[in-house]
Structure 1
């Protein structure tokens, strides 16, 4: 039985959304595969998104960036964190290589490492003689270079970037998920298609749960009922600027927001706004929810963008200042789905009615096929076969 160790960064939920479909496709090819997941992401989210039957080792092997909020990088804190992380890089790599050889809890050493998208385990796998692949739409080396490119930072940033780049280049290949950053510095790239789950559209059921078939508000208006989902991924949004009680109140509409947002409203405000509901208590699979609403409000991130595009869900987004990956994500969604840019403030105030109307007026292109998971799984299965895995094809 071959053993795959997968590291998934805890920087947001998009990396989990990328990894889940690939592991599911790989399990179809290799049903007896032993799977170990190393991540600092919430266990509940990992269990929901990844195929069953994996051993979880809670550990952070990267931090990506220190975020001030879902939109902005905390530049000084990130710079300090990278300097500390690379202060004795060779010793850190040696310790991680030894950890891979002697995993905790009696877990055997892996036959293959897949990293989304920490570079330390790639360098450690190379040191330990274990084959490894990187996989994502981004890599921290390119984002680091884009973030710390000022001449005044070159003296300390250049050596760190060189170590990051060398770690990524030590992998057998980088599985580059469409859409992705260019990654021109990585000469062993394997481009695969989009990776996204396809949700089960359950619009009528959702409308019933939200009271759209029971109240009189839909009858009072000739406009169609609308359900709009606000989702900003796994990094908490500061609630100070939120003014949910002032969001537009439209007959036949429901706003689905994170529970933490709704809790910023007073009890009186919540009672007065039954059209604003938290989506977590519904207990729905997130992709089913996304496939059942009329639009999504969010920010550029691979998980939401790929799932919105492949499920045909219209999206309003606010840009993330200084986040280089969005330069690949936004044109892709504009070409393959319906999307429209709004100002960040509009996510706080709900001043999006005109933008939603313009979004819904756009023609809907055919959704792209999420064929990247099967393509990536085929590459990994071939390497596992070399390690002696009996293939269930």
Structure 2
């Protein structure tokens, strides 16, 4: 028997997909201790190293594009379409190269979040492709209108070959996928005891007046940091390297070997853009979320509706966030509209399925 090997394809769009997929890989490794993950993404090595527990191989390949963005909210659709057409043209050679890599490394399974080409790559290598997501890129591209319809159809056709989709909460219909099974929330776990981390960071403000500002790996231009001066007895945390240094109630956490999920338990509220990873981790940890709407991105309204249904929340207009007042901080978050609790065990459910498959199909000698 060879070492169980998993080809993990992660979409090249922000850092959220890396965080949620590496959390899955960590959960799988707990059930398959000798697992060798082959992590295929152009996300930086330091980000993978910060999130993964144990040995892995990083293969920096772009299997998809996502959407070209200037920051976490501003999209460039013309550049997105041009690069998608380039990806289509390069796809046959990319599929051949990755299928060869899978066979050379004797990977038994592809797990993807959620590059469409991962399906074609897996089948060219004669292994199954399993996926885990709350949305597909065809759903996003179709919402951009006629110039993207042929591309969306191409993506849907690729997804239609997916052997198994673990459908995460806050999901769009995912119509292209023939084999779906609903699972619970996935996400990373904090690595520190809250009291120990609070002391290490020198935080003295109570939790209910401690706020995490998090807008993903692309950050966000024009965050109105001056607004923080109106809250001198509050503590704000950020991972934004471009945030100002001269605000006494703003603590920059970049470069401290911490992740947003590590500091969430210290906070009474999170201010964020719509994002599955942030929402899921906040729900799993019970931290209320104040979120900006993002109606120009098809996943945004779906995520916001899910947050409203299942978690304590505040839904902010752009004026409420960028207007420089932030009166919403002085108001209590709204309770969830649906009292039915969400399943929080998506990591372990998916990990158990992958572990079972690898144990049954580790047939290389």
Question: Please, what TM-score do these two structures have when normalized by structure 1?
Answer: 0.82
CA contact (8 A) 1:6 1:36 kept: yes
Q: Deviations over 1:130-184 (max 9, x none)?
A: 221122111111111122x24xx3xxx3432222112112221122112222112
Q: CA deviation at 1:346?
A: 4.2
Question: Structure 1 residues 350 and 370 mapped into 2: Cα distance closer, same or farther (>3 Å)?
Answer: farther
Deviation of residue 304 (structure 1)?
0.3
Q: Which position in structure 2 is the counterpart of 1:161?
A: 152
* CA pair 99-197 structure 1, distance change in 2 beyond 3 A: closer
Alignment RMSD (CA, Å): 2.8
1:256 aligns with 2:237: yes
Residue 357 (structure 1) aligned to one of 308, 330, 348? 330
Match of 2:139 in 1: 142
**1:234-261: per-residue Cα shift (whole Å, max 9, x none)?**
11322xx344234333342112123423
Give runs of aligned pairs for residues 91-130 of structure 1, distance below 5 A: 92-102=91-101, 108-130=105-127
Q: SS where residue 37 of structure 2 aligns?
A: strand
**Residue 350 (structure 1) shift:** 4.8
| SS of alignment partner, residue 85 of structure 1 | helix
CA displacement at 1:296 relative to structure 2: 0.8
Relative to structure 1, the CA distance from residue 388 to residue 205 in structure 2 (aligned partners, 3 Å threshold; closer, same or farther) is closer
2:53 counterpart SS class:
coil
User: Is 1:194–2:185 an aligned residue pair?
Assistant: yes
- Displacement after TM superposition at 1:93 (Å): 2.8
Task: Answer whether contact 2:294 2:301 (CA < 8 A) is retained.
Answer: no
Whether the aligned pair in 2 keeps the contact of 1:18 and 1:136 (CA below 8 Å) is: no
DSSP-derived class of the 1:247 partner: helix
Correspondence 1:28-177 to 2 at 5 A: 28-86=30-88, 88=89, 92-102=91-101, 108-147=105-144, 149-150=145-146, 153=147, 157-177=148-168
Report the secondary structure of 2:362's partner residue: coil
What runs of 5+ residues in structure 1 fail to find an aligned partner?
Answer: none
2:13 matched to which residue of 1?
Answer: 11
Query: In 2, Cα distance between the equivalents of 1:224 and 1:131?
Result: 46
Distance in structure 1 (CA, Å) of the matches to 2:357 and 2:193? 39
1:236 aligns with 2:227: no
Out of 305, 328, 336, the residue aligned to residue 331 of structure 1 is 305
Q: 2:175 aligns with which of 176, 179, 184?
A: 184
Contact 1:297/1:316 (8 A) holds in 2: yes
Q: For residues 363 and 325 of structure 1, what CA distance do their matches in structure 2 show? A: 20
Relative to structure 1, the CA distance from residue 308 to residue 227 in structure 2 (aligned partners, 3 Å threshold; closer, same or farther) is same
Query: After superposition, what is the alpha-carbon deviation per residue over 1:177-215, rounded to whole angstroms, capped at 9, x for unaligned?
Result: 1222211232211221110234367555555456554xx
CA contact (8 A) 2:207 2:267 kept: no
Paired with 2:356 and 2:196, the residues of 1 have a C-alpha distance of 42
Q: Distance in 1 between matches of 2:32 and 2:198?
A: 39
Q: CA deviation at 1:226?
A: 1.2
Aligned partners of 2:334 and 2:293: how far apart in 1?
A: 22
Q: CA deviation at 1:56?
A: 0.9
C-alpha deviation, 1:338, in angstroms = 0.9
Q: Partner of 2:262: helix, strand, or coil?
A: helix
Counterpart in the other structure of 1:374 = 348
**Alpha-carbon distance between aligned partners in 2 of 1:302 and 1:29, rounded to the nearest angstrom:** 25
Q: Residue 185 of structure 2 contacts residue 347 of structure 2 at CA under 8 Å; is this kept in 1?
A: yes
Mean Cα displacement is larger for which, 77-86 or 362-371?
362-371
